[in-house]
């Protein structure tokens, strides 16, 4: 065993709640410009250690904060996020700001437009502080695949924050933003939120526009929020949700007031517990914490029963076929011509393409492009891609049957708490297996929330995943609130 070289540090600090901050701003106890300045001080202080932000958007943030202060002074009505400092995962574009997606191939790229989720936050008054580190093109479970270095977990700097939205989770855990946006294709919001001890939301597929999200696997990609508590996460989702003419897959369903939904209590809700998520491979300390969380749901008046999700064992191969196939197609656009990095010395056009891709993409991204291209190739399409789509359908139907009997399903978010930096980088399969509990909901298109639910003896956070049927985010929030209320 290698000896511990450096003492782990901790940078955990809980942000104030939206309600507290709103009160402070409305009463004039703090100005939005001062709040933004304070957050930039905090970032300057801890970012060198945690590597959470890749770039800052100070000018835009301070202008927005000044607009909020002017509106407050005039007594104009304020948006629900007026003056609230927020961070954005670097796979979402902001006009004129760097958007690297954690990749060298996008170095120097400055998109000419805002993602819909970004403009909705700003329209609600949020102050956008900057862009957050992540795994390259959101491919990873530990944030160690970023071309700009890993994020460190604020709970224990020798550990990973999870991935791919590691920066988004760590920013909230270390109070470098009050809330953040991330993306989740196979677990990238839920797993880092659980590793860092914050709340993360997987909205139903289509609930939040993907316009301006740099695509990984388009049939799986979702944009969603992180916050320090369930109610604030619900408020954030309410702001970014809704149909968008710029995303044909966005849902026309009306957007409920999720914060109010989350206030309704969990009493009388039927909760399903799938045995498949408590089997071999689950860390006993994580299991114990989740079982305690389930007991707290019983105490809150929920009816807990077993449900069966037998196809879960096919979820990892299915996900890693569908996701890599779509990624291989989506990443074809990075050719050294249109965006970012171009290899300097090539004699021919095709050499320029291949050198740019060879030098611009990291190892994991290349592995996925190879796997995905193989799965889609003429001779193997039926055996791999088509078969994976069929299994995906079975997984989705299995969830539908379960949700006919229960209102929500609870599971551990990940089979383990945050692991050490470097612990899994040599074994991609071990890294993929860390996604076992999150990829099923991704494939099925359903929604979920991860909420802090106890800790290991070493003090590492454990997250409970609360899943609900399509467009039933409100139910997931109610259950998560009950779990949250039982912590302390």
Q: Which CB sits closer to ligand GLN, 138 or 193?
A: 138
Contact by Cβ (8 Å): 55, 89: no
How many residues touch ligand GLN under the rule CB under 6 A: the total is: 13
Q: Should residue 445 be labelled a site residue for ligand GLN when binding is judged by CB under 6 A?
A: no
CB-based contacts of 182, cutoff 8 Å, min separation 6: 89, 132, 134, 164, 165, 168, 169, 188, 189, 192, 200, 223, 224, 225, 226
Q: Is 188 in the site for ligand GLN (CB under 6 A)?
A: yes
186 is an interface residue for ligand GLN by CB under 6 A = yes
Smallest separation, CB 101 to ligand GLN (Å): 11
Q: Are residues 235 and 226 in contact, defined by beta-carbon separation less than 8 angstroms?
A: no
- Rule CB under 6 A: say whether 138 interacts with ligand GLN: yes
Identify which of residues 187 and 238 has a Cβ nearer to ligand GLN in the complex: 187
Token pair of 244 as six digits: 């968008």
- Binders of ligand GLN in range 348-377 (CB under 6 A): none
Q: Work out which of 144, 184, 261, 484 binds ligand GLN, going by CB under 6 A.
A: 184
From the list 94-102, 181-189, 300-308, 340-348, the region that binds ligand GLN by CB under 6 A is 181-189
Instruction: Report residue 225 CA to chain centroid gap.
Output: 7
Q: Active site includes 119?
A: no
Per rule CB under 6 A, is residue 141 in the interface with ligand GLN?
A: yes
Binding piece for ligand GLN, criterion CB under 6 A, among 44-52, 186-194, 197-205, 248-256? 186-194
Binds ligand GLN by CB under 6 A, chosen from 187, 412, 448, 461: 187
Interface with ligand GLN (CB under 6 A), residue from 323, 409, 441, 464? 323
Instruction: Find the part of the chain contacting ligand GLN (CB under 6 A) among 132-140, 301-309, 374-382, 411-419.
Output: 132-140
Q: How far is the CB of 46 from ligand GLN (least distance, A)?
A: 25
Q: How far is the CB of 58 from ligand GLN (least distance, A)?
A: 28
CB of 474 to ligand GLN, least distance (A): 23
* Cβ at position 320, least distance to ligand GLN in Å: 7
**Per annotation, catalytic residue among 188, 209, 251, 328:** 188
Residue among 91 and 286 whose Cβ is closer to ligand GLN: 91
User: Nearer Cβ to ligand GLN, position 137 or 477?
Assistant: 137
* Residue 90 near ligand GLN by CB under 6 A: no
Instruction: Find the binder of ligand GLN among 156, 435, 473, 484 (CB under 6 A).
Output: 435
Q: Give yes or no: 188 in active site.
A: yes
Q: Cα–Cα distance between 119 and 97 in angstroms, integer?
A: 14
Q: Which is nearer to ligand GLN, 186 or 461 (CB)?
A: 186
Tell me how long the chain is: 488
Interface residue with ligand GLN among 15, 83, 140, 150 (CB under 6 A) is: 140
Binding mask 205-234 for ligand GLN (x = CB under 6 A): -----------x------------------
Closer CB to ligand GLN, 69 or 184, in the complex: 184
Token pair 């996460």 in the structure block, residue: 233
Please identify the residue of the shown chain whose CB is closest to the bound ligand GLN: 188
Instruction: Quote the least distance from Cβ 103 to ligand GLN, whole Å.
Output: 13
Cα separation, 145 vs 150, in Å, equals: 7
Active-site option among 119, 141, 164, 183: 164
Q: Choose the stretch contacting ligand GLN; rule: CB under 6 A; options: 17-25, 134-142, 256-264, 292-300.
A: 134-142
Residue 89 appears among annotated catalytic residues: yes
Handedness of CA 45, 46, 49, 50 (dihedral sign): negative
* 426, 144 contact by CB (below 8 A): no
Nearer to ligand GLN, 392 or 481 (CB): 392
Binders of ligand GLN among residues 151 to 180 (CB under 6 A) are 164
Distances (CA, A) of 137 to 11, 89, 334, 411, 482: 27, 11, 12, 27, 34
- The span from the CA of 486 to the CA of 394, in Å, is 35
Given the complex with ligand GLN, which of 100 and 164 has the nearer CB atom? 164
Task: Work out how close the CB of 128 gets to ligand GLN at its nearest, in angstroms, rounded to a whole number.
Answer: 21
CB nearer to ligand GLN: pick between 141 and 318: 141
Where in the sequence numbering do the catalytic residues fall? 89, 164, 188
Judged by the rule CB under 6 A, the positions of this chain that interact with ligand GLN are: 138-141, 164, 184-188, 216, 323, 435
């Amino acid at each position: 065993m290698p000896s511990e070289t450096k003492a782990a540090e901790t940078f955990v600090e809980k942000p104030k709640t939206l309600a507290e901050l709103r009160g402070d701003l409305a009463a004039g106890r703090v100005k939005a410009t001062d709040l933004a300045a304070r957050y930039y001080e905090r970032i300057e202080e801890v970012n060198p250690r945690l590597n959470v932000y890749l770039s800052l958007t100070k000018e835009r943030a301070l202008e927005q904060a000044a607009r909020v202060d002017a509106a407050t002074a005039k007594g104009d009505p304020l948006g629900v996020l007026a003056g609230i400092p927020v961070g954005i995962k670097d796979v979402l574009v902001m006009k004129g700001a760097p958007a690297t997606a954690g990749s060298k191939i996008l170095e120097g790229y400055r998109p000419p437009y805002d993602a819909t989720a970004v403009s909705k936050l700003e329209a609600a008054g949020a102050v956008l502080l900057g862009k957050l580190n992540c795994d390259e093109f959101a491919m990873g479970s530990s944030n160690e695949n970023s071309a700009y270095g890993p994020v460190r977990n604020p709970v224990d700097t020798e550990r990973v924050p999870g991935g791919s939205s590691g920066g988004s989770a760590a920013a909230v855990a270390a109070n470098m933003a009050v809330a953040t946006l991330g993306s989740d294709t196979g677990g990238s919001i839920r797993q880092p939120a659980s590793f860092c001890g914050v709340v993360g939301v997987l909205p139903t597929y289509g609930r939040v526009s993907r316009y301006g999200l740099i695509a990984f696997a388009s049939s799986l990609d979702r944009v969603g929020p992180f916050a320090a508590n369930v109610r604030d996460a619900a408020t954030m989702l309410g702001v970014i949700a809704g149909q968008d003419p710029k995303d044909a897959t966005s849902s026309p369903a009306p957007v409920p007031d999720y914060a109010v939904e989350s206030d309704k209590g969990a009493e009388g809700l039927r909760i399903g517990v799938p045995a498949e998520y408590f089997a071999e491979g689950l860390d006993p300390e994580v299991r114990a914490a989740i079982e305690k969380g389930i007991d707290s749901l019983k105490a809150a008046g929920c009816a807990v029963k077993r449900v069966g999700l037998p196809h879960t064992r096919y979820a990892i191969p299915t996900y890693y076929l569908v996701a890599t196939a779509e990624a291989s197609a989506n990443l074809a656009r990075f050719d050294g011509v249109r965006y970012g990095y171009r290899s300097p010395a090539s004699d021919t056009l095709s050499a320029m393409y291949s050198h740019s891709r060879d030098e611009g993409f990291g190892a994991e991204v290349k592995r996925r492009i190879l796997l995905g291209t193989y799965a889609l190739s003429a001779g193997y399409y039926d055996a791999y891609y088509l078969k994976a789509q069929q299994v995906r359908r079975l997984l989705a139907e299995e969830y539908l049957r379960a949700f006919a009997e229960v209102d929500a399903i609870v599971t551990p978010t990940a089979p383990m708490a945050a692991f050490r930096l470097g612990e899994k980088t040599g074994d991609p399969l071990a890294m993929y297996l860390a996604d076992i509990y999150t990829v099923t909901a991704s494939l099925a298109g359903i929604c979920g929330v991860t909420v802090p639910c106890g800790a290991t003896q070493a003090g590492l956070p454990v997250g409970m995943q609360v899943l609900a049927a399509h467009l039933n985010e409100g139910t997931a929030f109610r259950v998560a609130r009950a779990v949250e209320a039982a912590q302390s």
